[in-house]
Every structure is written in C-alpha cells, then in structure tokens.
Amino acid sequence: MDFGEFREFGHASIEFIINYLSSIRERNVLSNVLPYDVINQLPRQIPEQPEHWRQILEDLENIILPGLTHWQSPYFNAFYPSSTSAGSIIGELLIAGIGVLGFSWICSPACTELEVVVMDWLAKFLNLPEHFLHENEGPGGGVIQGSASEAVLVAVLAAREQAVRRLRLSHPELSESEIRGKLIAYSSDQSNSCIEKAGVLAAMPIKLLPAGADLVLRGDALKQAIEQDVAAGLIPVICIASLGTTGTCAYDDIESLASICEKNQVWLHVDAAYAGGAFALEECSELRRGLDRVDSLNFNLHKFMLVNFDCAAMWLRDANKVIDSFNVDRIYLKHKHEGQTQIPDFRHWQIPLGRRFRALKVWITFRTLGAEGLRAHIRKHITLAKQFEDLVKADERFELIAPRALGLVCFRAKGDNEITSQLLQRLMERKKIYMVKAEHCGQLFLRFAVCGMDPKPSDIDFAWTEIQTQLTSVCAEQQVNARKAGELSELTHHLSGLHVTNETLQR
C-alpha cells in the first residue's frame, strides 16, 4: 500500500469511526449472533492476494459490527465503563503510527520521559501523597501497566520476593523453598477475580476474608487472620484492599488495614481500578483516607478517565522494591545513562520486556479535555447514577441493595430472586440495555453502571422505562402462570375426588 492509498484508507477509517460512534444509540447494545455466526462468514486462510481496503471496511460493517457488544453505547450498563474519547482514539492511532517500544530510556527517551510526566500529572490530579511522584526526591513513582490485573500481579510478586529476601536474612536456618511454602496473602471476599488469579500465578495462596455485612474489609478481620496464620507457622506477605469493589463499589477501610500491615511487615496494595478517578474530586476526599500509608495502588484510566483500553496506572511508594525483585539484565539491554539519573527504565517495573507508548494517548487525552473536563466527566457519571437511584426509589416494586456509589446503582425487584432473574433474562433477550447480575447474602441483584463516552439524562430515562416495562410484563406473566397453576391444582383435586368416588362405587 503506497502512502496515497494509506491516506485514503486512514481518512475513510476515521469517517467510519465517527459514523459508528455518532449513531451508536441506533443499534441494540447486544448483538443477535449465535456461536459460530462470525466464524462461518470468514475464510479459513489468509487471502493469497492483497485485498482492497474498501472491501475490508465493508466486511467490518457487515460481518464484524453485527457481532459486537457496543461498549461505547450509553445503553451498555454492565460491569464498569471502559470509555474512550476523541483524543484517546487519535492517541492510539498515533502510537501505532509512530510504532516505538520503550522498555528502557535509550529505546526511545521521550517514551519514558512522557510517561514520567503524565504519571506525575495524574498523581497530582488525583491528590495522591507526594511520595508517589517521580519529581519527589524519594524512591516512589508511577508507571502505566496494561491492566489492573497486571498491576496487582506486579505488587504480589514484588511483595513475595521482598518477603523471601527478608526471611532468608532473619531465618538462615530455613531454606528458600521452606520459606516460599509458608507464604500467605489476604484480600476480601468482595475483591475482583484478578486478585485471586494473582495468587494462583504467584503460587501464593490468597485468603479471601469475609467482608462485613456492609461489604467492607476492616483491620480487625485481617488481624484475626494474621494471628491465626502466624500461630500455624505461616508468613503473611501482602494484603490487597479494594477502593470500589466490583460487585457494589464498596470501600475497604484502608486506615485500619494499614495499622495491621505496618505492625506485621505486610505490604498493603490498594486496587482502586474503578473508583480511583473520584480521588480527583474534593467532595470525594474521604475516599483518599489512608492512602499515605499504602505501599502501592492501581487505577484504570480505561475505566473512568476517557482513555481507551488498555491503560492502568500504578504507583509505588518505593519502586526499588519492584526493580530489585524483577531486575534481570542482559548486555544488549544496557545503556550509558543507566543508573546515572533518576529516570526509570520501566522494563524493571513490569512483566513483559516490550512496552507500548501508552503515555502518548494519556497525554493527548489530558490535553484535549483538561483537568476541568476530566472532573466534569466523573461528576456527570455520578449525577446520572443519582438520577437512576431516584427512579429506583420512586417505584415501590424495587429496592436498593447497597448505597449508590459513584456511577453504580445496585438494585433488585422486591420479592424472591426469581423475579429479578426473569427480569434480567427478558432484558437480555430484548438487547436494548445490558446489565449484569451479582449476589449478596443470597439476594440476587442487578448492577446499573453509567457507561459510554457521553451518557445523557435521556439515556437513563430510556433504560429505566425499559426496566419498568419489562418488570410489569414479568409480573403479569407470573400472575397468569399462578392463575393457571391454581386452576390446574383445583382440577387435579377435583379429578382425584372423582377417582375416589369411582373406586368407592366399584367396591
């Protein structure tokens, strides 16, 4: 493809994206396809001859788009948002266009240095403690990982290696494998699945401690677990707390957890994958309590901050603990400025060697929206969730299962779980809006998350009308079924009476 054709292809693709995003409300959020529908429309081999880009865009429209769930639709109310923005989309395009990798400073100095700058911008925007800033004298700093899962895994692996080194010094009578076999980590039973997975990948069991009835993990539960485990000869390594759990966006009590971790030399990591964006708002300053005492934390820009997936910020109070744990060098990776400046070689802060120039899309997004625009976006999600919460409260057929938290409302139809389950089934069949279910104390509930690039009050009304109408229809169907069941039992009763009479007559 020559540059002339490349230009035409590029312009047509931008048009395609703009048409898709600007008409997204016209599509059902869930697709109609069945398993193999997409596979069956595609050839099983690479085309032998190059094909024209127009044909490829046509196939994208006719084969791929009908098989998509539309994550940027405001009617996508499942999970948490995975938003994007014009600046971020262009940023992603430019990353691919420039095509650099930045695992060490020399590989592309601006790639590393821009990341240092945007991570400090972000830390200041979120009002994080100063020791997380690169510009601070200390060993702290921020890095962009691909996902919250990777950030948690990095924290778990680094905490594990630091604990092994410490124990080898303090207990020379123990072999390394004996130490590794005794390590144990903690989190709440409300934490995201990625935390349990990090334990599996790090070959270190993670105990999921029961959060209280309010779904919050506190220091007393951690203290009890640590005391039991230490008495049984185990070695506590790390506690992963959540600020904004996936189920209900509950906030663990960081202050009380920090007190227990500090006493027991346990690393404290905070997963604020979704809620971290709210640290930027003065009205949410309570959420930041205790962050000055944590060792590391992660926050997904690809959730609340209009940067497209993948982009997960991670901050370390002492990055040397990660660097020491992960530093595996080769002569071809060395460069003359290595170790002479405070500028990091980010390959030591992450799992892969290669790394994308994600800082570019973050930089462009922040500059095109400004801090004011970012704060306005988060506040808009909160306001829209309040609108939805008021609608739930005003209809006596529904109840809230937990207090609304940021852009998430957890609610259910009153009565047994069957009604909520049938309601969700109908909504999924109709494909107009998309929510997922969760469970707490045996009660099934629905999670309504405000999502999309530009959700509006009318989108909330649309979703609520759909939910109300479908509940009315589920209840009507239940009444018909109950009446039919009543009639059937009456008939059976009547027939069994006839049977007895018949038998009696025969005798």
Which of 192, 298, 300, 308 is labelled catalytic? 192
| For ligand PLP, the closer CB: 133 or 250 | 250
The residue (of 133 and 211) whose beta carbon lies closer to ligand PLP is 211
Q: How far is the CB of 310 from ligand PLP (least distance, A)?
A: 7
- Residue 322, judged by CB atoms within 10 A of its CB (0-12, 13-18, 19+), counts as buried
Please check whether residue 77 is in contact with residue 450, taking contact to mean a CB–CB distance below 8 angstroms: yes
Question: Helix 457-506 to helix 358-394 angle, to the nearest 10 degrees?
Answer: 50
Q: Give how far Cα 156 sits from Cα of 209, 223, 255, 300, 500, Å.
A: 17, 19, 20, 18, 72
CB of 206 to ligand PLP, least distance (A): 14
Cβ proximity to ligand PLP: between 14 and 351 the closer is 351
Helix, strand, coil distribution of the chain in percent, nearest 5? 55, 15, 35
- In the bound state with ligand PLP, the residue whose beta carbon lies nearer, of 194 and 202, is 194
Residue 354 Cα distances to 99, 146, 347, 351, 370, angstroms? 12, 12, 7, 9, 30
Q: Is the dihedral of CA 476, 482, 488, 493 positive or negative?
A: negative
Judged by the rule CB under 6 A, the positions of this chain that interact with ligand PLP are 79-80, 147-149, 192, 194, 242, 244-246, 271, 273-274, 300, 312
Q: How far apart, in whole angstroms, are the C-alpha atoms of residue 365 and residue 308?
A: 10
Active site residue 62: no
Straight-line distance from the first to the last Cα atom of the chain, in angstroms, rounded to the nearest whole number = 96
Supply the minimum distance, in Å, between the C-beta of residue 80 and ligand PLP: 5
Which residues pair with residue 491 across a beta bridge? none
**Smallest separation (angstroms) from ligand PLP to the CB of 91:** 18
CA 238 to CA 26: how far, in whole Å? 47
Structure tokens at 123: 């830390």
At position 288, the amino acid (one-letter code) is R
- The least distance separating ligand PLP from the CB of residue 300, rounded to whole angstroms, comes to 5
Minimum separation from the CB atom of position 158 to ligand PLP (A): 17
User: Cβ closer to ligand PLP: 276 or 344?
Assistant: 276
| Catalytic residue numbers, as ranges | 192
